[in-house]
Chain A
Amino acid sequence: MSRKNTSIGLYEVRKGENKLGVGSNMEESLVISIGPHIKDRLSTKKIMWAVTLSLIPAGIAGIFIFGINSLFTIVVSILTAIATEAIILAMRKKDINAVFDGSAVLTGLLLAYNLPPQVPLWMPIAGSFFAIAIGKQVFGGLGHNIFNPALTGRAFLMLSWPIYMTTWQNSRWSMDAITTATPLALYKYKEFDLLRNVSHWNLFIGNRGGCIGEVCIVALLIGAAYLFFKKYITWHIPITYIASVAVLSWAFNGRSVLFTGDALFFLLSGGLVLGAFFMATDYVTSPLGARGKIVFGIGCGVMTFLIRKFAGYPEGTSYAILIMNAFVPIIDRYTFPKWFGWRKG
């Protein structure tokens, strides 16, 4: 831009005409917008792919523990999720590129992690389709769904084909080839003799029967640590969730006496770690504020405990989270933040 141009601009001002410095080319191309004029680099896409990345160790562990079938389940589930999302976005005349924001991949991945390793491959297809179509897009797509899509898909499979969903496979090197039940199921049906073989260490590294993504606690914790480090999730939901399950299990899950329960066993078995760090923390279906998140976490913990203890299922994480999802609007309403300098009345 030369000085000459600006003086032409000035001339315009002096004449008092309502022209905006037409003398200069630069001024015609200036961008006008309301601030802030700088934005954080974080985007929805980045968050979704980071969560996906953080789940990879648990997936690798699952494939390692249960064999290559698990990989097929995961891949089929993700591909179905992407395809369903793309078709429905096209039907709704939305931008197809939204497929690549990572949310569909994440839903497919989480659904696969919530399936037993030996399910036939049409199961992840049906589940993934349901998760995306009914769990997410029916409500209006990303950001509008009330229930966690992956868990909706799992609930659908659980209700439709319960036999497949409760047939378990032991880890490939398990000594006990006959027992194909999850530790929580053994506890539920009071098989305490068999439970004795299950050490805390085996639970921690994932040497047990269970869903693909939930078994290897150490891999899940690595992923969760990454999410904490990058500040994608906060402590509010996972810590309150796990702590309330631990306290309630310790208090009421002992053999006939109060406060003798093996809290660690109940934390390490079942899908609690996967649920608390990766599914209850789902932004869309959890409360907005910190206080609401704490209420939500405790609610999930109590629900999980109640289902495990009193309901027909040995494991209650997924239903607990789904039930608490329904309470999110009301939690949000009653935990609305009080602004700075707020006074009553």
Chain B
Amino acid sequence: MPYKFYGGVHPPTFKTLTLDRPIKRVFIPKRVIIPLLQHTGSPSEPIVTVGDAVKVGAVIAKPTGFISSTIHASISGKVTRIAYSPTRMASRILSVTIESGDEDQEFKVERSGDPESLSKEELLGIIKKAGIVGMGGAAFPTQAKLSPPTGKIIDNVILNGVECEPYLTCDHRIMLEKTKEILKGLEIICKIVGAKNAYIAIEDNKLSAIYAMEKAILTTHNSQLNTKLVVLRTKYPQGAEKQVIKSILNLTVPAGGLPMDVGCIVQNVGTAFAIYEAVYFGKPLIERCVTITGSSVKEPVNLWVRIGTLLSDLVDCFGGFSKEPKKIIVGGPMMGLAQYTMDIPITKGISGIVFFSKDEIGESKESVCIRCGRCVEICAMGLAPIALMYRVKKENFKEAKELGIANCYECGACAYICPAKIPLLDYMKFGKAKIS
């Protein structure tokens, strides 16, 4: 039986829209715009110039530091432009545009020896070369996460298939369709960090994924690794790193610390699959699974999308719109970012796009706080959002810091639950930006 974490909310999930839609690989764009900062950390440095011909999977930018990532061409073609372009973030980011003619767009598998016999360092090298980042949303470079400083012993690897964000089903579909591959990826992760215990965390609303994973664990026998499937209660934000560790191992990551402080590493299931593909087929991270859903989408789908594909080019893949979209959210509706344009490229950290029509926007007028205490009750980090809100409003950032505003990871549960519709998350973000 899993442990519990404090707080949490139960938003309606709407996952049935895309739950039974297999991930389709239907569309290779004629043009991609690949931002050179798709990950957390420092931007990558381009090594191609305008006019260069590139092949699919070729490196177009190299990392500029420890926390950075390699970036590859996701289609074959010509580099036509290197300039600042809009991305899902508010700011424009230096991006490489590749346009293709009639080149072969299939990636050639290049297997480098027996994957089972590779050493720890070689595996890390492959992951670094493949430009793999966390696929859950934060896009933290995986090789940096998998190289803990000496002295930190990692006992447990947790594979995060929780997917607590409403609407999104890409992790669920990957777990269903690539079950064995994910387990292979998990083995590689455990080998790199030297962990003995592996846990796969899935929320109890994904029964088919639980069943598939259980079956795969039983059939693939590995004597070195103690793999366990943990079914967690459906609750938001169950999938957050600190909460998932608390739920599975009952360990509390110290405030301001990292999972490795309690001997854990958490990786998304999508990341495990990308690692498997990189190690077994030498395939860099040039495509990812994206859920496209929402009330105004005609046919909600799960798609394999080449990195850099513009959202506006994908319109045909989901059959257009049944209602006029009023809000485009990249990511889930809880933590996602609203966009001002459709011309944004799909990047490594985008797990879903949600289109809301007029009915779902739910713009409600902010009223005064009635001190109901719900935000305090549900904050998974044990903060008092309303107290922080007053401090930030009065620009008393010093006190806000003392009350732990830095611990907020912006899950948005407080603003979700607030009956007075106070935009608490806005205040949290503003306060956090001011103290850093």
A residues engaging B (CB < 8 A)? 1, 3, 6-7, 9-10, 12-14, 16, 20-21, 24, 26-27, 29-40, 42-44, 46-47, 98, 101, 141-144, 234, 283-284, 286-290, 293, 336-343
For A7, the closest partner residue in chain B by CB is B312
The answer to whether B419 and A40 have CB atoms under 8 Å apart is yes
For B324, the closest partner residue in chain A by CB is A26
The answer to whether B384 and A337 have CB atoms under 8 Å apart is yes
B residues engaging A (CB < 8 A)? 6, 9, 11-12, 33, 81, 83-86, 97, 166, 242, 246, 252-257, 310, 312-313, 315-316, 320-321, 324-329, 333-343, 354, 356, 360-364, 367-373, 376-377, 379-384, 386-387, 403-404, 407, 412-413, 415-421, 423, 425-426, 429
Please name the 5 residue pairs, one residue from A and one from B, whose CB atoms are nearest each other, closest first: A36-B412, A6-B312, A341-B255, A143-B368, A37-B333
Pick from B315, B327, B342, B368: contact of A142, CB under 8 Å: B368
Tell me how far the C-beta of A43 lies from the nearest C-beta in chain B, rounded to whole angstroms: 5
For B7, the closest partner residue in chain A by CB is A340
Q: What separation, in Å, do the CA atoms of A31 and B335 have in the docked complex?
A: 16
- Residues of chain B contacted by A37 (CB below 8 angstroms): 327, 329, 333-334, 336, 338, 354, 356, 360-362
For A27, the closest partner residue in chain B by CB is B341
Tell me how far the C-beta of A145 lies from the nearest C-beta in chain B, rounded to whole angstroms: 10
The answer to whether B254 and A343 have CB atoms under 8 Å apart is yes
- Residues of chain B contacted by A47 (CB below 8 angstroms): 370, 372, 419
For A286, the closest partner residue in chain B by CB is B371
Given contacts A3-B316, A35-B415, A36-B333, are A341 and B254 in contact (CB under 8 A)? yes
The answer to whether B417 and A42 have CB atoms under 8 Å apart is yes
Pick from B6, B83, B415: contact of A39, CB under 8 Å: B415
The answer to whether B371 and A339 have CB atoms under 8 Å apart is no
Q: What separation, in Å, do the CA atoms of A273 and B19 have in the docked complex?
A: 48
The answer to whether B417 and A44 have CB atoms under 8 Å apart is no
Pick from A34, A44, A342: contact of B425, CB under 8 Å: A34
The answer to whether B403 and A336 have CB atoms under 8 Å apart is yes
Tell me how far the C-beta of A297 lies from the nearest C-beta in chain B, rounded to whole angstroms: 14
- Residues of chain B contacted by A27 (CB below 8 angstroms): 340-342
Q: What separation, in Å, do the CA atoms of A286 and B377 have in the docked complex?
A: 14
Pick from A3, A26, A43, A144: contact of B421, CB under 8 Å: A43
The answer to whether B425 and A35 have CB atoms under 8 Å apart is yes
Tell me how far the C-beta of A49 lies from the nearest C-beta in chain B, rounded to whole angstroms: 12
The answer to whether B326 and A44 have CB atoms under 8 Å apart is no
- Residues of chain B contacted by A39 (CB below 8 angstroms): 362, 364, 415-416, 418, 421
Name, among A13, A21, A289, A336, the residue most crowded by chain B CB atoms within 10 Å (CB to CB): A13
The answer to whether A3 and B386 have CB atoms under 8 Å apart is no
For B9, the closest partner residue in chain A by CB is A40
- Residues of chain B contacted by A293 (CB below 8 angstroms): 373
The answer to whether B381 and A340 have CB atoms under 8 Å apart is yes
The answer to whether B407 and A340 have CB atoms under 8 Å apart is yes
Chain B interface, DSSP helix/strand/loop, else mixed: loop
Pick from A21, A35, A289, A343: contact of B376, CB under 8 Å: A289
Q: What separation, in Å, do the CA atoms of A29 and B356 have in the docked complex?
A: 12
Pick from B338, B368, B407, B416: contact of A339, CB under 8 Å: B407
The answer to whether A341 and B257 have CB atoms under 8 Å apart is yes
For B368, the closest partner residue in chain A by CB is A143
User: Could you name 14 residue pairs across A and B whose Cβ atoms are closer than 8 Å?
Assistant: A21-B341, A31-B363, A33-B327, A35-B333, A35-B415, A43-B364, A47-B372, A101-B367, A142-B368, A284-B370, A286-B371, A337-B382, A337-B384, A339-B255
Tell me how far the C-beta of A343 lies from the nearest C-beta in chain B, rounded to whole angstroms: 6
In the complex, besides A6-B315, A40-B11, 6 extra interface pairs with C-beta distance below 8 angstroms are: A1-B324, A13-B86, A36-B425, A40-B419, A144-B368, A339-B407
Tell me how far the C-beta of A185 lies from the nearest C-beta in chain B, rounded to whole angstroms: 35
The answer to whether A3 and B419 have CB atoms under 8 Å apart is no
Name, among B83, B327, B362, B372, the residue most crowded by chain A CB atoms within 10 Å (CB to CB): B372
The answer to whether A288 and B341 have CB atoms under 8 Å apart is no
The answer to whether B333 and A1 have CB atoms under 8 Å apart is no
For B80, the closest partner residue in chain A by CB is A14
The answer to whether A30 and B382 have CB atoms under 8 Å apart is no
Pick from A1, A35, A43, A339: contact of B334, CB under 8 Å: A35
- Residues of chain A contacted by B333 (CB below 8 angstroms): 35-38
- Residues of chain B contacted by A31 (CB below 8 angstroms): 326-327, 338, 361, 363
The answer to whether B417 and A40 have CB atoms under 8 Å apart is yes
The answer to whether B368 and A141 have CB atoms under 8 Å apart is yes
- Residues of chain A contacted by B313 (CB below 8 angstroms): 6
Tell me how far the C-beta of A292 lies from the nearest C-beta in chain B, rounded to whole angstroms: 9
The answer to whether A340 and B242 have CB atoms under 8 Å apart is yes
Q: What separation, in Å, do the CA atoms of A37 and B168 have in the docked complex?
A: 14
For B327, the closest partner residue in chain A by CB is A31
Given contacts A21-B341, A30-B326, are A340 and B380 in contact (CB under 8 A)? yes
Pick from B6, B341, B363: contact of A9, CB under 8 Å: B341
The answer to whether B429 and A34 have CB atoms under 8 Å apart is yes
Tell me how far the C-beta of A8 lies from the nearest C-beta in chain B, rounded to whole angstroms: 10
For B338, the closest partner residue in chain A by CB is A32
Pick from A20, A42, A341: contact of B341, CB under 8 Å: A20
For B375, the closest partner residue in chain A by CB is A288
For B83, the closest partner residue in chain A by CB is A16
Pick from A12, A14, A284, A339: contact of B383, CB under 8 Å: A339
The answer to whether A35 and B338 have CB atoms under 8 Å apart is yes
The answer to whether B242 and A341 have CB atoms under 8 Å apart is yes
The answer to whether A336 and B387 have CB atoms under 8 Å apart is yes
The answer to whether A46 and B371 have CB atoms under 8 Å apart is no
For A22, the closest partner residue in chain B by CB is B341
Q: What separation, in Å, do the CA atoms of A262 and B315 have in the docked complex?
A: 74
The answer to whether B415 and A44 have CB atoms under 8 Å apart is no
Q: What separation, in Å, do the CA atoms of A16 and B386 have in the docked complex?
A: 42
The answer to whether A288 and B368 have CB atoms under 8 Å apart is no
The answer to whether A336 and B343 have CB atoms under 8 Å apart is no
Given contacts A10-B312, A143-B371, are A339 and B404 in contact (CB under 8 A)? yes
For B415, the closest partner residue in chain A by CB is A36
Q: What separation, in Å, do the CA atoms of A288 and B384 have in the docked complex?
A: 9
- Residues of chain A contacted by B384 (CB below 8 angstroms): 288-289, 336-337
The answer to whether A38 and B420 have CB atoms under 8 Å apart is no
- Residues of chain B contacted by A286 (CB below 8 angstroms): 371
For A236, the closest partner residue in chain B by CB is B373
For B365, the closest partner residue in chain A by CB is A95
- Residues of chain A contacted by B356 (CB below 8 angstroms): 37
Q: What separation, in Å, do the CA atoms of A36 and B379 have in the docked complex?
A: 14
Q: What separation, in Å, do the CA atoms of A342 and B381 have in the docked complex?
A: 10
The answer to whether B370 and A143 have CB atoms under 8 Å apart is yes
The answer to whether A10 and B335 have CB atoms under 8 Å apart is no
- Residues of chain A contacted by B419 (CB below 8 angstroms): 40, 42-44, 46-47
Q: What separation, in Å, do the CA atoms of A9 and B377 have in the docked complex?
A: 45
Tell me how far the C-beta of B414 lies from the nearest C-beta in chain A, rounded to whole angstroms: 9
